[in-house]
């Protein structure tokens, strides 16, 4: 495995270690006090302290953000500055407490102080318009209740709420109820716009005749690809409960004649044939290695020689851990109880093991939105 730190048991100190010397020095209270006064180091100490403070208080910042979103304060302050009295009345919160929330929001960069009170900042406006992000923040109440006890999540000691929030992950049977399926699918579809935008910047579907999106949800990704590639034929494959919403989307977009929608489970059913490219968008990280390996092998069988598999989802950093993949998505998947965030190298390794070759990792610009890995079935191109 490329992204596993190997070795068992604690390392025994032997000889001089630069890192040990540095860490003991920096952790020493006397050194800290000296460095915070010394002109050449005090700026660095202040910045490190600020970084540390953000780590310490991140949960509170997130909860402030949640309150702002839940009270719809982004929309309320977008066009005109609002007075505290008006905001307090609207939210049914005492004025002094409302002031605390607005000041916190302003400190986090979401509002500007503009007479007679507060107006949405540029960052707040970007947040308000970023597709699906506000709804993602709203559903964080579930995730953060699980994260109140991260040790229980790590040890797998408790049944998490998040596992019940996304029941489709556990197989076809769990998502039989169309109403439930619709709720998850909307959250996914709204946040798909950025993922599709970023994926389509990283790869091209030139030369592809039919693209099959496996676990394609309600079709937001195929709708974006279809708009960018007007001659492309498409197949969407997802659990039966998701199918009607996908069919409805393609009908509404006038794309129904270009898209075949098939219901089924990639665990139990054969995949439709006829596509020369397959995409898995935000699918692999929901599932355990065995499930993903079996799915990749099934896709290889369904593809013609030279056919392509595109995996797009937020990924971990492997040797270079990143916040979105290794902190947020890794714990999100852990709390869901099934999948895991994998690095591009790990996914590439799995694709090769499944039989793909020429595996590439085209760079995406916003890795917190998605990263991409592409492979080809051996044979003619
Ligand atoms: C006009 C003038 C005067 C100046 C302009 C200056 C200028 C150019 C400003 C730029 C402003 C601008 C347009 C900013 C845009 C920013 C955007 C688009 C930001 C997007 C951010 C996206 C984020 C933060 C995405 C977060 C996504 C999350 C948290 C997704 C979570 C997904 C989950 C949990 C999925 C779960 C699915 C499961 C169950 C694991 O399968
Ligand atoms: C996280 S969502 C991603 C949806 C879409 N690709 C996107 O990015 O918005 C995962 C999708 O995989 C589908 N899925 C999960 N298990 C499946 C299975 N066994 N067979 C087919 N689809 C499945 C779910 O119904 C869901 O639509």
Residues 264-310 have pLDDT tens digits of 999 999 999 999 999 999 999 999 999 999 999 999 999 999 999 99
Q: How does DSSP classify residue 371?
A: E
For residue 331 and ligand 1, the question of a CB distance below 6 A is answered with no
pLDDT band at 13 (very low <50, low <70, confident <90, very high): low
pLDDT of residue 2: 46
Residue 343 has pLDDT above 50, yes or no: yes
Q: What distance in angstroms lies between residue 333's CA and the mean position of ligand 2's atoms?
A: 14
List the CATH code of the domain at 24-126: 1.10.10.10
Largest CA distance in the chain: 73
Determine which helix (DSSP H) or strand (DSSP E) holds 360, and give its type and residue range.
strand 357-360
User: Percent of the chain scored above 90 by pLDDT?
Assistant: 84
Pocket test for ligand 1, best of 141, 217, 218, 332 (most atoms within 8 A of CB): 332
Residues 204-246 have pLDDT tens digits of 998 999 999 999 999 999 999 999 999 999 999 999 988 998 9
CATH 1.10.10.10 segments of the chain? 24-126
Q: Compute CA 106 distance to the chain's CA centroid, rounded to the nearest angstrom.
A: 26
CATH 3.40.50.150 segments of the chain? 145-376
Please state the ipTM of this predicted complex: 0.95
How far apart CA 248 and CA 229 sit, in angstroms, is 20
Q: Is the Cβ–Cβ distance between 292 and 348 less than 8 Å?
A: no
Q: Is the Cβ–Cβ distance between 344 and 318 less than 8 Å?
A: yes
Ligand located closest to 270 CA: 2
Residues 20-48 have pLDDT tens digits of 999 999 999 999 999 999 999 999 999 99
Residue 1 has pLDDT above 60, yes or no: no
For residue 125 and ligand 1, the question of a CB distance below 6 A is answered with no
Mean pLDDT over the full length of the chain:
92
pLDDT band at 178 (very low <50, low <70, confident <90, very high): low
What radius of gyration, in Å, describes the C-alpha atoms of the chain?
A: 24
Superfamily of domain 145-376: Vaccinia Virus protein VP39 (3.40.50.150)
Residues 78-136 have pLDDT tens digits of 999 999 999 999 999 999 999 999 999 999 999 999 999 999 999 999 999 999 999 99
């Amino acid at each position: 495995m490329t992204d596993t730190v190997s070795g068992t048991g604690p390392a025994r100190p032997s000889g001089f270690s630069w890192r040990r010397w540095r860490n003991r020095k920096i952790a020493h209270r006397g050194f800290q006090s000296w460095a915070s006064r010394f002109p050449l180091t005090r700026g660095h100490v202040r910045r490190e302290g600020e970084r540390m403070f953000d780590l310490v208080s991140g949960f509170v910042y997130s909860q402030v953000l949640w309150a702002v979103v839940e009270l719809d304060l982004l929309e309320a302050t977008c066009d005109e500055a609002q007075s505290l009295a008006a905001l307090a009345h609207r939210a049914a919160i005492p004025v002094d407490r409302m002031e605390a929330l607005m000041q916190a929001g302003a400190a986090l960069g979401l509002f500007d102080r503009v007479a007679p009170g507060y107006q949405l900042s540029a960052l707040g406006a970007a947040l308000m318009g970023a597709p699906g992000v506000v709804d993602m923040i709203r559903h964080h109440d579930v995730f953060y209740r699980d994260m109140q006890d991260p040790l229980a999540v790590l040890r797998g000691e408790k049944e998490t709420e998040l596992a019940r929030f996304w029941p489709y992950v556990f197989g076809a049977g769990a998502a039989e109820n169309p109403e439930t399926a619709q709720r998850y699918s909307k959250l996914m579809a709204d946040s798909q716009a950025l993922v599709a935008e970023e994926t389509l910047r990283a790869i091209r579907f030139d030369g592809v005749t039919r693209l099959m999106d496996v676990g394609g949800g309600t079709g937001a990704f195929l709708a974006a690809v279809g708009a960018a590639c007007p001659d492309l034929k498409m197949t969407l494959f997802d659990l039966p409960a998701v199918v009607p919403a996908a069919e409805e989307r393609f009908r509404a977009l006038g794309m129904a004649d270009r898209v075949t929608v098939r219901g089924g489970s990639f665990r139990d059913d054969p995949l439709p044939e006829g596509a020369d490219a397959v995409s898995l968008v935000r699918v692999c990280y929901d599932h355990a290695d065995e499930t993903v390996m079996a799915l990749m092998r099934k896709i290889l069988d369904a593809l013609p020689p030279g056919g392509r598999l595109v995996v797009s989802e937020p990924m971990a950093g492997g040797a270079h851990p990143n916040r979105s993949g290794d902190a947020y998505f890794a714990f999100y998947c852990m709390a869901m109880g099934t999948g895991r965030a994998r690095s591009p190298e790990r996914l590439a390794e799995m694709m090769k093991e499944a039989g793909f070759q020429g595996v590439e990792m085209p760079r995406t610009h916003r890795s917190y939105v998605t990263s991409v890995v592409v492979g080809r079935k051996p044979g003619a191109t």
